[in-house]
Structure 1
Amino acid sequence: TNSPISPLPYFGALALASVFIGSKRGLKNREVEMISLSQGASAPVFLSFSLLGLYGIQKLEIDLQTFLNGYFLLLETVSGTISLWLPLKAIGAATGEKALGTVDLSFVVKSERTGETLPADQPVRPSALLCLAVAATLAYLDRYGGQDSFTLNNLEASFLVTTWLELLGVNSFRTATALLFGLLFYDVLWVFGSGPLLRAAASALGGEQGEAILPKYGSVMADVAMSPVLSTPTKFLFPRDAAVAAAAESSSFDFSLLGLGDVLIPGLLIGLLLRFEGRASKGSEGGGGGGGGYFAPALFAYGAGLLVSFAASFVSGKGQPALLYLVPLTVGSALLVGTKNKEVGELWSFQTSGEDEERD
């Protein structure tokens, strides 16, 4: 984040709605891809190399826009279709739509766990065609319509993060904790630490070589997030007030932003807490007595973390690593509720495959 508090309600609504919808839909998904403890622990290293690679690409001004447009056209079409399918399907059912025909989709594996495939006579309904058409049109407009609509960017970003939260999960509270605190360190390093490190390296190199590696906006993270070379819906945007923009380090960037990682990463924990809450409320194995919910307090804590992050940005006048505020508050909310319910041990040892929760 790199703005005063004014965009907070907008970003908060987008982020909380995406986390809420993605978590609820993930609970009903039978094929959630679970992140393991080793994967969660290694994520900061992998992402650091990826971030450095992207920083190098934008510094060298390598034109990847054609590739990115094609890749994100497909990604946005898929995520938009998944996101829009349930509401359009419900509308179709309510209006009594009839199938236009059938198509053989038996070559598509529906469940890798069971080997189940899609039907050989899958009905083709108008709502499904409309869903695909709308998703593809929105994706095309975002990629090839000038890319100057922050509203369309944010819609596509919401589709992406909601879909990721539906399809991805963490297999335990320990994994979530390792992932979140590891990425907190990653966020702090590349927002606060990368600028001084690169300035020291530039001083050692001297001349044009030294100048070439310096971040334009003060850090590697900010440069990658604001780079026109990497214009993709991987962040929420909100137009900045001209006076605020002029006073900021990133005065040539016209938007306040919230990275999707600041939504997705805490969202994975919140989705896990929803699963644990369901298990605990039923008193089943792996859950405690269910003395109080985890999901709502975690959402509240996430919103509070956004508020603190934006307040810190406003006071300091500099972009902040949002996970520095979001992670302690969301993890802390879970531990506080667990302490209140006398089930911290159950929460800490809770593991899920994503296949055993109630899906009604």
Structure 2
Amino acid sequence: MEKAVIFIILLLTVLTSQINCQEGILHISDGSKEQEFCIVYNQSWTRLSKSLDTAVQYPLVNLMSTLLCDSSGVSPEVVKGKVLVVMRGDCTFSQKALVAQALGATTLLIASNKTLVPPSANDSEYSKVQIPLALMRYMDFVEAQQVFGDEMQVRLYAPPSSKIDASIGVMLLISISTVALGGYWSGACERRERLNLGLGGASGDNKADSEDLSVYSPIKVVLLVAFMCGVLILMYYFYNILIYVFIAIFCVASANALFNCINAVLDLLGCANGSFTVHNTNFSVRSLILASVCISISVVWGVYRNESRWIWILQDLLGVAFCINFIRTISLSSFKICVILLTLLLVYDVFFVFITPFFTKNGVSIMVQVALGPDASGETTPGNMVVVPAMPQTPTETLPVVMRVPRFSSWTQNLCGMQFSILGYGDIIVPGLLVGYCSRFDVWINNTKKIYFLSCCIAYLMGIITTFAVMLLSGMGQPALLYLVPFTLITSATVAGCRGQMKQFWTGTSYEVLESSQEPFLPEARPDHPVEAEPC
């Protein structure tokens, strides 16, 4: 069951890609009163003033009775030189913006009942739209109408905020710790299995009982990546159905991973593991208590997954446990398999982020659409009018495949709610599989200094630092695998080449070879002294 879940969950690990989400402020006044509201815009599309004093003030025209997918029924004299506010739906953001621009409007505000996302389009649409475009919450506009009536003067601006936030340091700590712990645990399990073989255990039985899942066939790697591509496309077309399947899978897999991680720590600390018998069946007291705690944590996350203020703590806890357990469980048998898998996943990531916008109708990449959900672009609604619900709609479901840490510097800004620094699980797991292989290779050659493991961890750290540095300098989210894969692969190959072990490192080992003999596959793995077992 666990192995089947692992194969299914692998496709989730590279679905997320950071995108540039820019928040701004809508300042509304009528001469005597003033109030500010949150807006979301795409700075590839819109440039806003950095302060209220430099922002130009325009009168606002309420066109909430139309979706503005065409100019019928709208007089240019009414909207020329003014800010328009229309409802979201029926056509894309760019289409609404082009109609507003043709009518002579200075700015377009789109009121949304759904989660605010930065309005996206392809590069050709960006070049056509010359007026600012932003999304605001529908309930905020209703509140503004109650306060100001129809006589509203508005200004849009985006105060500069510090690009370097303490949350980035926390994210770096989480990512490198998760990769290092998962890789070290993988090597510890390999050492334990080698010790069992050395003590006369049957290798075939040992592998049969092992929870590890070895990937040693290039064909299987290619088929696995092809399967991931197929599931991603299915998610694109059937998101509203499959999202709940993946949420359920994540709850089960993360609870199991958290159990395995905590249980291994308790074994390491030497905690007692009492048992009792019921109808000739033995039950472990510690395991039952631990399973209850892990399942409860997973259930609480599942129930409150859309709560933004505190649920990120449980999601990160479950995510760290899931990534560590995944790196420990999946064993890549050779550096050749590592190169094939990481290279294919890098191409997969780049293709679905940067290439697919040229093929989709709304110009949004399939990766971003799946990661953000259906609200990543303009949506279709029947008819020319929109029915607005009295209360806000249920938050849009998103895939639980990211680490989230609140931006500490933005906590005082309550207009747009909490803002997060995010990192996809795939940016941890995919390079982490290579780190795990390096850790096992150190065991195979009896390298007590763990040179391969440590060098790959350092390469991962440098790669993730480079990712965040480029993101901060460019002001845009980055596909982390674009930097992590070259850093880790090149570093590992360089270490093997300098040590004269490239042939062994490239070939590695496989379950077929191990099952054919109890002799270690690599000559360097024959220690002259007993190997100390480590908890696994």
Conserved 8 A contact 1:5-1:307 = no
Q: Does 1:220 align with 2:369?
A: no
Larger proportion of helix: 1
Quick check: 298-307 or 12-21, which moved more? 12-21
Conserved 8 A contact 2:243-2:397 = yes
Partner of 1:87: 265
Q: Does 1:134 align with 2:314?
A: no
Q: Does 1:327 align with 2:505?
A: no
Conserved 8 A contact 1:63-1:229 = no
Partner of 2:303: 144
Out of 144, 165, 169, the residue aligned to residue 9 of structure 1 is 169
Out of 225, 243, 266, the residue aligned to residue 431 of structure 2 is 266
In 1: Cα distance, 2:242 partner to 2:233 partner: 16
Partner of 1:72: 250
In 1: Cα distance, 2:341 partner to 2:417 partner: 33
Q: CA RMSD in A?
A: 3.1
SS of the residue 1:281 aligns to:
coil
Conserved 8 A contact 2:235-2:242 = no
- How many residues of Structure 1 are paired with residues of Structure 2 in the alignment? 310
Name stretches of at least 5 consecutive residues in structure 2 with no aligned partner: 1-17, 21-162, 191-209, 374-394, 515-519, 526-530
Task: Kindly provide the amino acid, as one letter, of the partner of residue 32 in structure 1.
Answer: D
Task: Kindly provide the amino acid, as one letter, of the partner of residue 430 in structure 2.
Answer: I
The 5 A counterparts of 1:1-360 are 1-2=18-19, 6=165, 7-27=167-187, 28=189, 30-35=210-215, 36-58=217-239, 62-64=240-242, 66-89=244-267, 93-94=270-271, 96=272, 98-101=274-277, 122=282, 124-148=283-307, 149-195=311-357, 197-198=358-359, 202=361, 213-215=362-364, 219-227=365-373, 229-240=396-407, 254-281=419-446, 293-353=451-511, 359-360=533-534
Conserved 8 A contact 2:168-2:421 = no
Higher relative contact order (CA 8 A, sep 6+): 1
Larger proportion of strand: 2
Query: Quick one: structure 1 residues 193 and 253, their matched pair in 2 at CA, closer, same or farther if it must change by over 3 Å?
Result: farther
Partner of 2:54: none
Conserved 8 A contact 1:40-1:176 = no
Quick check: 168-177 or 31-40, which moved more? 31-40
Quick check: 17-26 or 293-302, which moved more? 17-26
The Cα shift of 1:333 comes to: 1.1
Task: Kindly provide the amino acid, as one letter, of the partner of residue 231 in structure 2.
Answer: S
Quick check: 273-282 or 167-176, which moved more? 273-282
Larger radius of gyration: 2
SS of the residue 2:274 aligns to:
coil
The Cα shift of 1:194 comes to: 2.3
Quick check: 267-276 or 26-35, which moved more? 26-35
Conserved 8 A contact 1:235-1:258 = yes
Alignment TM-score, normalising by the size of structure 2: 0.52
The Cα shift of 1:242 comes to: 8.2
Query: Quick one: structure 1 residues 157 and 99, their matched pair in 2 at CA, closer, same or farther if it must change by over 3 Å?
Result: same
Conserved 8 A contact 1:43-1:179 = no
Name stretches of at least 5 consecutive residues in structure 1 with no aligned partner: 105-120, 203-212, 283-289
In 2: Cα distance, 1:260 partner to 1:126 partner: 32
Output one character per residue of 1:117-172: Cα deviation in whole Å (capped at 9) or x when no partner: xxxx54x3332122101101110111002442111111111121112112211121
Alignment TM-score, normalising by the size of structure 1: 0.76
In 2: Cα distance, 1:295 partner to 1:186 partner: 26
In 1: Cα distance, 2:434 partner to 2:290 partner: 30
Task: Kindly provide the amino acid, as one letter, of the partner of residue 340 in structure 1.
Answer: C
Task: Kindly provide the amino acid, as one letter, of the partner of residue 38 in structure 1.
Answer: I
Conserved 8 A contact 1:5-1:311 = no
The Cα shift of 1:25 comes to: 2.6
